[in-house]
Amino acid sequence: MRAYKVLIPALAVLAACSPGAGTQAQNLPEPVKAPPASAATMKMSFAPVVKKAAPAVVNVSSRRTVRQRVDPFWDFFSGGGVPQGRVQQSLGSGAIVRADGVILTNNHNIEGADEVMVQLADRREFPARVLLADPRADLAVLKIDVGSEKLPVLAIDDREKLEVGDLVLAIGNPFGVGQTVTNGIVSATARSNVGITDFGFFIQTDAAINPGNSGGPLVDMDGNLVGINTAILSRSGQSSGVGFAIPAQMARQVVGAALGGETMVVRPWLGARTQGVTADVAKSLGQSAPRGVLVADIWPGAAADRAGLKKGDVILAVDGEAVNDETGVSYYFGNHRNGQTIALKVLRDGRELTVPVKAEKAPGRSDGGRQIDGRNPLQGAFVAELTPAMADAQGIDPFQGRGVVVLKVAPDGLAARVGLRPGDFIRAINGKAVRNETDLASATAQDSRRWSITIERGGQQITSRFSL
């Protein structure tokens, strides 16, 4: 699992843990705009909205067994190192999005679980299976078997333009006390760079959200799902009025992929490296204020290249949605389906123009790679030749380099002991250049006691020597 950036003072993902214990349609309900019975009723109470939404909110619990070593004191007498199993439990929330038992929740609620259980609002419990898990978006789609019964559902409203100040409700099961409703407003939209997921583009709300609320719905005043509550910003780990929810657009994309029989979400890839426009860049472009995203590099043959996008272009909007950072471009472009044509509003040489781009997945294989074995300093590392598709699947910047990259490092391998990290590029072994997996296999097959390994990390090359 990738390590996400940490917010200061703290970013708390909202699963309560106990140490001891592809298409859009797919029969999803359409959101319905229905006014309250009267203006007086709406002013006095949120009860009409809660009555509509709450029956479709569920509790999601998971159990996983982790292996750990016994106490070192007993290791001394027992001959040591016998791994012991310990059961971890996690509690979160979810929303029923299709009447036959399809449920949307956070991926971190169920990740690595041996067993997932869902409790409905009427307290019935069902085992759940995972249809699709999307760690990069921190979303998961579950399915429970309810036979021919039709369950209450929450419609995913991905068409409403939320505005700062809109009233919202957060429904879930904080601290495991039972279903709870809190209210607040939308504090901000399109909140990015908060370090929660790879596709960090969040609704911010001051509705009270606490551990156990994660995966539960953020609901508008029509009783429709507009977000999935995911994390909070807090010193104490409890609500301080700054919560983040994944927008409904991304939620619908993940549910649509799951119901289409896909095992992973394959999002479109623009194929351009971008950066925010600073005040100095804006001045050089003749802008009165910084706006848009500067195209710094383009991957040859990718969607942006074939569409005619150029280095130095400034992307102002993606399908009518204004963008001001790289996350915004990735989010709005990635929320389309492959094959669609997406209109980019671009500033080029002082003129604004529209560049149509056909949405396509990143080129190359997204899987593959090999585990390095044998007696060498890279033993225990899982490596692969980096392609845009591989980089996209792993959350790696494909523009940071080409060649053989480390994807994972086994904690008990030699690679971990010598300090190898995911994201390192292996450039040379014992003086021989490593350009692909074939070069690497040949180099690590040497019968040698002395090793010289050159890696590239953060744009800098480092050479280390080892004796085994």
Catalytic residues: 108, 138, 214
Query: In which region does residue 418 sit, left (phi positive, over 0), alpha (psi from -120 to 50) or beta (all else)?
Result: alpha
Query: In which region does residue 403 sit, left (phi positive, over 0), alpha (psi from -120 to 50) or beta (all else)?
Result: left
CA distance 166 to 173: 23
Asked whether 456 and 433 are in contact (CB, 8 A), the reply is: no
**Dihedral sign of CA atoms 195, 197, 199, 205 in order:** negative
Q: Residue 410 has which token pair? A: 């086994």
Distances from the Cα of 324 to the Cα of 268, 294, 327, 345, angstroms: 19, 9, 8, 12
Residues 6+ apart with CB under 8 A from 71: none
Distances from the Cα of 432 to the Cα of 92, 407, 457, angstroms: 51, 21, 18
In DSSP terms, which residues pair with 103 in a beta bridge? 96, 142
Q: Which of 239, 121, 252 is nearest to 174 (CA)?
A: 239
Distances from the Cα of 224 to the Cα of 28, 208, 231, angstroms: 12, 18, 20
**Dihedral sign of CA atoms 407, 411, 417, 419 in order:** positive
